[in-house]
Structure 1
Amino acid sequence: MSISYPKTHIVRRMAPFKVDSLAIPYPEFVPKLFNFCMSLGFRKGLIMPSRAFCSDENQGLPIILMTKHFGTFPFNHGRVGGVIATDRHGPHAHHGEDLVILQASHVGYDPHTGTYGKFVRPKMAGTTISNSCGKITHVITPYIEQYEFAKKRIFLHRDESGNHLITVKNSFVDFASYPVKNGLVLLLEKIVKLDDDRRIVPVAALSTSQTFALGEDFCRRIDATGYIWKGGDGESIKDLLFADLFFFREDFHETDASILLERSLAGFMPEIVTSRNPSLRAAKIIIQLEFSRIVESIRRGTEYAGKNLLYITGLNLDISEFEGFPATTYFVPWAAHIQLQNGAPEEYAHPVEQDRLFGLIMGQSIENPDQVNLKEEIGRMLQAPRFDIRSSK
């Protein structure tokens, strides 16, 4: 007879992901990355880099710089949103002796306003501003819209007797007889007062909503924000609808490869939609989840066995053209996995975390005497013998 144990709800938290003072311009980052590889014992001329970026044109500068400093066009590990295709480990490993994987989700950044998410498209007529990473934005937008709607349709108020109340649309309430099938679900057990049988029972019912008495803990939490309670119908809850007070019960919206992105982000949507910068928060979460997943795939797999490998992940910040300067990209390092051919020293037995990784990168020289002059290489190609290429017989 098997023994069953009560299941404990385990919450997965994201580690702190800092951006301030950690962003490195790509023209500085890539030569330092190359020199870091050399300091690890990677061999000049035998390094095959790979990138896992979105396909947006604003990711072109990093790819060009990788080509210039590593002397070869990088292999492509990337799916939408910066998700990595693990089935490409094998082909990548077969294309070089020493391997580098650079993975990054990306988000636009406006240095004038300090806001994230947008990018000016230079090849569009006029000033055309759009979402920097359309896929991440496309995935999170339906959830943001539901959250914004809920903030306007949930009301806080106080009655004449001084009781604190919340009125909620029926569509947000997970009734035992009629649970929410698709949409935002309010975690009323964290908000309202329970009766003696620990049931959630409304104090009033209206045509499309229910009114509940608020619990003491939730009232104290609201009071701590300085909120002023209103009588009558009160007012909408607005930004007091905190991330831990709801979840989404949804069928996935995506049908193509971006379903991988949505599946990864689904459990973190309350945290994303309540963020001041949802696209930035989503990108940070993808980076952290992907790093954990890919390190596991490398350690469990055999594709990179006996190889030097540096897997580094972080955030690409896309900055539009301004004041006559071209568009550019910055890299914020997050973490790295290092595997060396003859066994990694103890200092690399565990992933290199953000602060240490930043220090290791910035400690490298920006000078790379081995970089390729792309203009000269193209000139040499043009001067090469012209082959008479024919169909096979």
Structure 2
Amino acid sequence: MTNTPSTACIERDVAPFKVRGLAIPYPEFVPRLYNLCLSLGFKRHFVMPSRAFCSDENQGFPIILLSKHFGVFPFDHGRVGGIMAVDRHGPHAHHGEDSLILQASHVGYDPTTGLYGTYKRPLLERNVISPSCGKITLVIEPYLRQYQFAQQRIFLRRSEKGQYLIKARDSLIDFSSKPITDGLVLRLDRIVKADENNRIVPAATHTTSHSYEVSEHFRNRLYAAGYQWQEGSGEPIGNHLAADLFSFREELHGTDESIHLERNLIEFMPQIVTHKSPQLKAAQINIQMEFARTVESIRQGGAYEGKNLIYLAGLNIDISAFDGNPETTYFVPWAAHIQLREKARQEFLHPLEQDELFAMLMAQSKENVDMADIKEQIGRMLNSPLHDIRTPQ
């Protein structure tokens, strides 16, 4: 009899994305970025920047700063939610001798509370506070609702016979005879005790739910978290429904660009909905997914061949005006892909990781002697002679 090797389950994860101590104010970050370009041999006054930001109004000041320090309005490489338009590499590459791409998802932050996800809209009366980024919030909201529902509809209890049970609604259980096609799927294989034939068999059946005896491993896990089992009807599982105990199967909710954002996040949605700051976690994951996809598109395409290029991805943190302080934006670098025209350098064969990239940026001066005077340039335009704009004959 030939033994057929089993296929290993290969899982993907996201890297740690640090924020504390790595956030750089945009008025300081952009000149450092400009000087980094020059330090790598980019031609002064010939660097064409491009940005891939969300379309919110609070992303405007970063764009203005890019214009001031690079002396030209940046090319647009982005879609809503901080998604990269990789089909625009060619047009962008044709607009300058050297190229820079800056990509960022964004999230609001309240420095008085330390909470992420909202922003005070200055052009709305009554101090309206709304999500920032609204697109990311819109994508993850259906999953948050499903998770919060499951937290209150899954119960833990100790029976009169001394059994430790979990009771879940049928709509959350992936039965072999009726698998879940749309919604939250409880990972019972990581929670309950299997029989001698490795079957997951209910200890009790109810009108719209089933009860199962939990495994010793899961019971020990709850004990380590300080959980005390209740008798009778028990109590909702609440925050003990951790990210590794469920997954989602969904028909994507989004349309157009939103679908791409949702595809980036769906695999990691359990980590997002269980995080203390779901919008922050979603933005961090989207940045990582987009960086990997964009680097691959650059390497496989020929748009930037023979050119100097920096593609840098990170997180924009939006801070509303408060206590007399103006609204502002910070940038948290994540990773960078660097290629040079003259010769491939060993240190750039792989993307720069977060700590290395941050150190490289902070080693640059925050003074830019080439910074453009936008007000002066607009004044020159206003004082220039009127041109005769004619219809072609």
Q: TM-score, normalised by structure 1?
A: 0.98
One-letter amino acid of the structure 1 residue matched with residue 290 of structure 2: E
CA offset at residue 153 of structure 1?
A: 0.1
- What's the counterpart of residue 192 of structure 1? 192
2:29 pairs with 1:32:
no
Write the distance in 1 (CA, Å) between the matches of 2:332 and 2:241: 31
SS state at 2:84 partner: coil
CA offset at residue 197 of structure 1?
A: 1.2
Q: C-alpha offsets along residues 200-248 of structure 1, whole Å, 9 cap, x if unaligned? A: 1111111111011111111011111001110001000000001111111
Map 1:1-393; keep pairs closer than 5 Å. 6-393=6-393
Q: C-alpha offsets along residues 243-289 of structure 1, whole Å, 9 cap, x if unaligned? A: 11111111001122110000111111111111111110011001111
Paired-residue identity, %: 60
Write the distance in 2 (CA, Å) between the matches of 1:323 and 1:387: 48
Write the distance in 1 (CA, Å) between the matches of 2:5 and 2:229: 44
SS state at 1:17 partner: coil
Contact 1:26 1:329 (8 Å CA) reproduced: yes
Write the distance in 2 (CA, Å) between the matches of 1:57 and 1:84: 18
Write the distance in 2 (CA, Å) between the matches of 1:243 and 1:291: 24
One-letter amino acid of the structure 2 residue matched with residue 346 of structure 1: Q
Write the distance in 2 (CA, Å) between the matches of 1:297 and 1:69: 27
One-letter amino acid of the structure 1 residue matched with residue 50 of structure 2: S
One-letter amino acid of the structure 2 residue matched with residue 274 of structure 1: T
One-letter amino acid of the structure 2 residue matched with residue 221 of structure 1: R
Write the distance in 2 (CA, Å) between the matches of 1:11 and 1:198: 22
CA offset at residue 181 of structure 1?
A: 2.1
CA offset at residue 378 of structure 1?
A: 0.4
SS state at 1:258 partner: helix
One-letter amino acid of the structure 2 residue matched with residue 385 of structure 1: P
One-letter amino acid of the structure 2 residue matched with residue 24 of structure 1: I
Moved >2 Å (runs of 4+): 3-7
SS state at 2:61 partner: helix
CA offset at residue 7 of structure 1?
A: 2.3
SS state at 2:268 partner: helix
Write the distance in 2 (CA, Å) between the matches of 1:214 and 1:301: 52
Q: TM-score, normalised by structure 2?
A: 0.98
Q: Alignment RMSD, CA only?
A: 1.1
Write the distance in 1 (CA, Å) between the matches of 2:213 and 2:237: 15
SS state at 1:11 partner: coil
**When the two structures are aligned, how many residues end up with a matched partner?**
391
- Structure 1 portions without partners, runs of 5+: none
Write the distance in 2 (CA, Å) between the matches of 1:211 and 1:172: 12
SS state at 1:96 partner: coil
Write the distance in 2 (CA, Å) between the matches of 1:162 and 1:392: 91
Contact 1:182 1:248 (8 Å CA) reproduced: yes
One-letter amino acid of the structure 2 residue matched with residue 86 of structure 1: V
CA offset at residue 366 of structure 1?
A: 1.0
Contact 1:338 1:344 (8 Å CA) reproduced: no
